[in-house]
Amino acid sequence: SANHIKLPNTATEAEVLKCIASLNGDPAVHGFIVQLPLDTDKPINTEKITNAVAPEKDVDGLSSINAGKLSRGDLGDCFIPCTPKGCMELIRQTGKEVGKADILVVAAGKAEMVKGEWIKPGAIVIDCGINHVPGAWVMYKDDIEISQSCIPKPIDQVAREVGLLPDEVELYGQTKAKVHLSALKRLKNQPDGKYIVVTGITPTPLGEGKSTTTVGLVQALGAHLHQNVFACVRQPSQGPTFGIKGGAAGGGYCQITPMEEFNLHLTGDIHAITAANNLVAAAVDARIFHELTQTDQALYNRLVPSVSGVRKFSDIQIRRLQKLGINKTDPTALTKEEVNLFVRLDIDPGTITWQRVLDTNDRFLRKITIGQSPTEKGFSRMAQFDITVSSEIMAVLALSDGLDDMKKRLGRMVVASSKRGEPVTTDDLGVTGALAVLMRDAVKPNLMQTLEGTPVFVHAGPFANIAHGNSSVLADKIALKLVGKEGFVVTEAGFGADIGMEKFFNIKCRYSGLRPHVVVLVATVRALKMHGGGPAVTAGVPLPKEYMEENLQLLERGCSNLNKQIQNARMFGVPVVVAVNAFKTDTKAELALVVQLAKEAGAFDAVECTHWAEGGKGAVALAQAVQRASQAPSNFRFLYNVELPVIDKIRLIAQQIYGASDIELLPEAQEKVTLYTKQGFGNLPICMAKTHLSLSHDPEQKGAPTGFILPIRDIRASVGAGFLYPLVGTMSTMPGLPTRPCFYDIDLDPVSGEVNGLF
């Protein structure tokens, strides 16, 4: 790779010095290390070489301090500028003061002895390979290279540091662990920490750095300001990793690490959801099939079989009998009518809302016909596959506050209506217990860490366009206990503030009972210029010049969106800190203008951030603003009372948050309002399925549009998760693969086992 420069073993002092000079001049090089050739025939003045490194590229003064400490004996037959122990001690002392990940030279082949114990979290350790392969010059730039070059702390150490007990932690290798819910019980009398939600202005299709800001903020609070801190983020879908989008671990020097673990299977939670979701789907169609092909008595004999002469209802069947108002427990005591009611779910195939899922971008499964094998006797129907993260079970996972609560939600998921118009649930199918069993590991939050060694919970990732798009209640709750009263939990809400934040408040906080202290609103000059009328921003196409050059006029105009999103956050009574995520093309005047306008719009504070390039150091000012804001009075309130009629709740969101003048219900939506109200689901909170690219329903409407009528095409229900989701326009729930998917560049080194090409 172009980022790895190797000098031959025979390099002379002059060649080494020349190489240093060229690296000194390269702005892309954050820092670098010098592994001197072993060859003793060519004496090299190590002090001269280490002093040649430009001060800003020098790794925290290592070279100058250690140049005088050369020792051969400690290191076998390697010459390096200092002993590993000396380096480590120095890194430990100085490392805490620096913003970017440190870089540390290690004797060839000696990385093992220093891993973990000696080194500051987030430091980059370069093992120059096996013994006798000296002369390596290394620098790092790409996300996966930065991530892989950082040796994370052993995750059991992270767990100890945050105060978890050994039996509350299940290790999954060295870099991931699951945390038992028993921790929450143990800490129930501990006061909660400060609860910070990161959201953003209406973004461009490229994203404005919410994840990166979340990571940068916790790195700053934890590694730089020495606060107890936790980031809580969503687990990304694996499908897009191989499609267009790539990974989602943050970026630059603000990442969750190892990013390949984060972006791939992690600990299998999404796979568990796939399995659970599809068990329900298989049960729906199999049940319809068996009801269509059997008499009441045959069904009853099979559903309640005689085992060694004894017929017995299972627990879940007794629950169904109770739901039907049949208070009997003896299978022989049911009347014919009761048997009929019991055995026939009588699902109306036209009302099935439960879809199959896969965590793969497979566009050919968007609409399919199933049941065409002769074994299914002609009972085929249209169906579809969605991406797994859009499964209601993902939303259930994210909103559950314990095993018992999750099981209840899993059991009340509605899969269809019966021909009599009653909701048919997963519990009616007899599958609740099996779903809970499949999800029993997934319910435990996953502990990981940032590049700077601060703790992260990665847990749940509901689709932001048809679900609420926030990470799990359980992770937030455990983290709030672990950080303690003065600590901070930073959680990210998907999409812009009009969607992710609104749902965070009205759905997630409503179910969790947690109250946020600060909203961090991420803005970029790029997105604001787009809102001011700049040309379209498209993935894969070079940015137009408006975005590469100063343009204060476009920028000021676009701040209408920033202003509206600030008002949206303030509507909930929570102080807002605006994080201006600086790009290298932004000018000082541009950044200053955004800060000024944000403050004028009522933000508690507004701060420039450079964490992408600098790590936590670049977000220290943001962290300090968040600390101050968390002391300010917060007077949290919901936007609506759930007992309001469905239409009124939708209208409130449309008018207050989006700026619509009114809503318009299309006939299907109107029917669903009637149906769900009749079925008793009218008092659920509302989860709008709207584009994130505009405050309105039209992605082309930038800025802060007003006066529009928001059309509601249809309404669906996620009764187990606990919300109704009105569809504003068409939401794709199954991404596709482009002509050249990301997977062309993804590879595995068959010798080292390292993953290449993820980004």
* Residues annotated as part of the active site: 210, 212, 234, 245, 464, 495, 583, 612
Supply φ then ψ for residue 354, to 5 degrees: -85, 120
Residue number, 645 or 738, with CB nearest to a second copy: 738
Q: How far is the CB of 154 from a second copy (least distance, A)?
A: 11
> With binding defined as CB under 8 A, does residue 302 bind a second copy?
yes
Residues 6+ apart with CB under 8 A from 43: none
> With binding defined as CB under 8 A, does residue 640 bind a second copy?
no
One character per residue 185-224, x = contact with a second copy (rule: CB under 8 A): ----------------------------------------
Q: How far is the CB of 464 from a second copy (least distance, A)?
A: 21
Residues 6+ apart with CB under 8 A from 471: 232, 233, 234, 235, 398, 457, 458, 459, 460, 461, 491, 492
Supply φ then ψ for residue 599, to 5 degrees: -65, -40
Site for a second copy in 235-254 (CB under 8 A): 238, 242
CA–CA dist 539, 245 (Å, integer): 9
Q: How far is the CB of 315 from a second copy (least distance, A)?
A: 7
Site for a second copy in 313-342 (CB under 8 A): 314-317
| Helix residue ranges, H only, 634-693 | 646-652, 667-679
Site for a second copy in 107-146 (CB under 8 A): 112
Amino acid identity for residue 649 in this structure: K
Do residues 717 and 684 make contact, with C-beta atoms less than 8 angstroms apart? yes
**Count of alpha carbons within 13 angstroms of residue 436, beta-carbon side:** 20
Q: How far is the CB of 453 from a second copy (least distance, A)?
A: 20
Site for a second copy in 536-595 (CB under 8 A): 540
Measured CA distances, 387 to 320, 357, 460, 524, 714 (Å)? 31, 5, 14, 30, 20
Question: Which of these ranges, 51-59, 209-217, 353-361, 620-628, lies near a second copy under the rule CB under 8 A?
Answer: 353-361
Question: Which of these ranges, 286-294, 608-616, 631-639, 702-710, lies near a second copy under the rule CB under 8 A?
Answer: 286-294
Q: How far is the CB of 739 from a second copy (least distance, A)?
A: 4
Q: How far is the CB of 575 from a second copy (least distance, A)?
A: 38
> With binding defined as CB under 8 A, does residue 311 bind a second copy?
no
Instruction: Give the residue, chosen from 64, 157, 174, 677, that forms a contact with a second copy under the rule CB under 8 A.
Output: 174
Residue number, 382 or 666, with CB nearest to a second copy: 382
Instruction: Give the residue, chosen from 142, 359, 476, 586, that forms a contact with a second copy under the rule CB under 8 A.
Output: 359
Place of tokens 């629950």: 319
Instruction: Give the residue, chosen from 198, 438, 451, 520, that forms a contact with a second copy under the rule CB under 8 A.
Output: 438
Alpha-carbon dihedral sign for residues 740, 742, 743, 747: positive
Question: Which of these ranges, 223-231, 279-287, 685-693, 694-702, lies near a second copy under the rule CB under 8 A?
Answer: 279-287
Instruction: Give the residue, chosen from 49, 91, 218, 281, that forms a contact with a second copy under the rule CB under 8 A.
Output: 281
Do residues 102 and 60 make contact, with C-beta atoms less than 8 angstroms apart? yes
Residue number, 709 or 748, with CB nearest to a second copy: 748
Instruction: Give the residue, chosen from 338, 346, 441, 550, that forms a contact with a second copy under the rule CB under 8 A.
Output: 441
Pair of tokens at residue 608: 């420039």
| DSSP codes of every residue in 580-597 | EE--TT--HHHHHHHHHH
Instruction: Give the residue, chosen from 67, 171, 571, 592, that forms a contact with a second copy under the rule CB under 8 A.
Output: 171
> With binding defined as CB under 8 A, does residue 3 bind a second copy?
no
Among the listed residues 569, 567, 500, 597, the one whose alpha carbon sits nearest the alpha carbon of residue 706: 567
Residue number, 165 or 632, with CB nearest to a second copy: 165
Supply φ then ψ for residue 113, to 5 degrees: -70, -15
Place of tokens 């343009």: 551
Question: Which of these ranges, 572-580, 605-613, 638-646, 748-756, lies near a second copy under the rule CB under 8 A?
Answer: 748-756
Site size toward a second copy (CB under 8 A) is: 95
Site for a second copy in 703-732 (CB under 8 A): none
Residue number, 431 or 582, with CB nearest to a second copy: 431
Instruction: Give the residue, chosen from 290, 319, 570, 628, that forms a contact with a second copy under the rule CB under 8 A.
Output: 290
> With binding defined as CB under 8 A, does residue 397 bind a second copy?
no
| DSSP codes of every residue in 389-402 | GGSHHHHHHHH--S
CA–CA dist 194, 573 (Å, integer): 15
| DSSP codes of every residue in 490-535 | EEEBSS-IIIIIHHIIIIIIHHH----SEEEEEE-HHHHHHHTTPP
Q: What angle do CA 396, 362, 471 make, to 5 degrees?
A: 25
**Count of alpha carbons within 13 angstroms of residue 595, beta-carbon side:** 18
Amino acid identity for residue 350 in this structure: G
Site for a second copy in 372-391 (CB under 8 A): 372-373, 375-376, 382-384
CA–CA dist 175, 472 (Å, integer): 20
Q: How far is the CB of 410 from a second copy (least distance, A)?
A: 10
Residue number, 162 or 434, with CB nearest to a second copy: 434
Residue number, 131 or 756, with CB nearest to a second copy: 756
Residue number, 328 or 381, with CB nearest to a second copy: 381
Residue number, 92 or 377, with CB nearest to a second copy: 377
Residue number, 173 or 191, with CB nearest to a second copy: 173
